[in-house]
Amino acid sequence: MDKVSNTESKRANIFTRLILLLIIVLIITSLGIVINWLNKPGNFPFKKVELINQLENQESKELQKIAAQALNGGFFSLNVDEFRENLLNKLPWVKSVSVRKLWPDKIAVEIIEYKPVVRWQSVDNHSLKKTKQLLSQEGVIFRPQLTADQLLKFDQMALFFGPEMNARKILDKCFAINKKLFTLNLGIKQCGMNNRRTWRLILADFNKNREANIEIQVGKDNVVQRLDRFVQVFSGKLKQFLVSIETVDLRYTNGFSIKWNASDILSGRLQKEVINKPLTK
């Protein structure tokens, strides 16, 4: 009798295990069917892409084109990371983007744009010099497709130039230079360095009736200190003669040379003591 009962007990255990296994298989299969159904783009489709913030420069039609692709998907089938990467890679104005799915049929998008502070021109051989380039306040170079209005707007900005790897360094140093020039009522029109790391500036005085364009050759080393010498000399009574300067060469140990505007010399605007005086301090 004990043998019979043991055999029946074993059979019951096997049967129970088979039932449990069948139930597990059915559950897994059902979950797979449900997941596949949820991930079909036609189920729980999106009806709206909501832009949380206003865009200043990025054209909305480009955003709408990418958003339309997302609307073809469903709530569970949309790959949020892929959608975010598309926005970052295809919209050049976009610095960062946040994407959230809102149940049951909405996508919320928040975009932070790059804030351009100057135009940029790369001096690297591989760069696309004909492409309009802008430099953000973080020193990031970006190349957006500009509208006609944007071209007019950004062409008024100063132009910084140099090797792309030095963009942030050039941005910081040119801004530091611009602060020093403020005391002379001068502003930077162009600032940067060439492939040989030689710095050059073009300045303008927009407060005068006559706009002065002053080209300054600074050299490689001690850029800010050399410019200090120029600022110190012209911060006093010589300030009135700034508009008569064409070029300045600061690449001297203890002074600098100036090329004066020829018409101002002939008209007698420049005093002889100004032209002949050694410009050191």
Q: Are 141 and 123 in contact (CB under 8 A)?
A: no
Residues 195 and 207 in one domain: yes
β-partners of residue 119 are: 134, 159
pLDDT value at residue 207? 64
| Residue burial 11-35, b: 16+ Cβ < 10 Å; e: rest | eeeeeeeeeeeeeeeeeeeeeeeee
pLDDT tens digits along 83-107: 888 888 888 899 999 989 888 888 8
Residues 217 and 233 in one domain: yes
Last residue of a domain, one of 82, 113, 144: 113
pLDDT confidence bin for 128, thresholds 50/70/90: low
pLDDT value at residue 273? 47
* Within-domain flag for 227: yes
Q: By mean pLDDT, which of 135-149, 241-255, 256-270 is the weakest? A: 256-270
Q: By mean pLDDT, which of 30-34, 112-116, 259-263 is the weakest? A: 30-34
* Within-domain flag for 4: no
pLDDT value at residue 52? 85
Domain total of the chain: 2
Count of beta carbons in the 10 Å neighbourhood of residue 46: 21
Percentage of residues in the chain with pLDDT exceeding 90?
34
Tell which residue, 152, 121, 157, 147, has the closest CA to residue 55. Answer: 147
CATH code of 107's domain: 3.10.20.310
pLDDT of 216 above 50: yes
Residues 257 and 130 in one domain: yes
Residues 90 and 226 in one domain: no
Q: Is pLDDT larger for residue 192 or for residue 260?
A: 192
CATH code of 169's domain: 3.40.50.11690
Residues 171 and 84 in one domain: no
Residues 65 and 84 in one domain: yes
pLDDT confidence bin for 281, thresholds 50/70/90: very low
Last residue of a domain, one of 90, 113, 136: 113
Residue range of the domain that includes 68: 48-113
Outline where the chain has alpha helix (H): 2-38, 60-71, 80-90, 148-154, 167-181, 223-234, 262-267, 272-276
Q: Is the pTM of this model over 0.75?
A: yes
Cβ-Cβ contacts under 8 Å for 213 (sequence gap 6 or more): 189, 202, 203, 204
Using CA atoms, how far apart are residues 46 and 210, in angstroms rounded to an integer? 60
Place of tokens 């110190």: 232
Residues 184 and 97 in one domain: no
Residues 214 and 88 in one domain: no
Residues 56 and 161 in one domain: no
Say what the alpha-carbon torsion angle 188, 190, 195, 197 is, to the nearest 10 degrees: -10
Handedness of CA 158, 164, 167, 170 (dihedral sign): negative
Residues 207 and 90 in one domain: no
Q: By mean pLDDT, which of 72-81, 171-180, 193-202, 230-239 is the weakest? A: 72-81
Average pLDDT over residues 115-121: 95
- Helices 60-71 and 80-90 pack at an angle, to 10 degrees, of 160
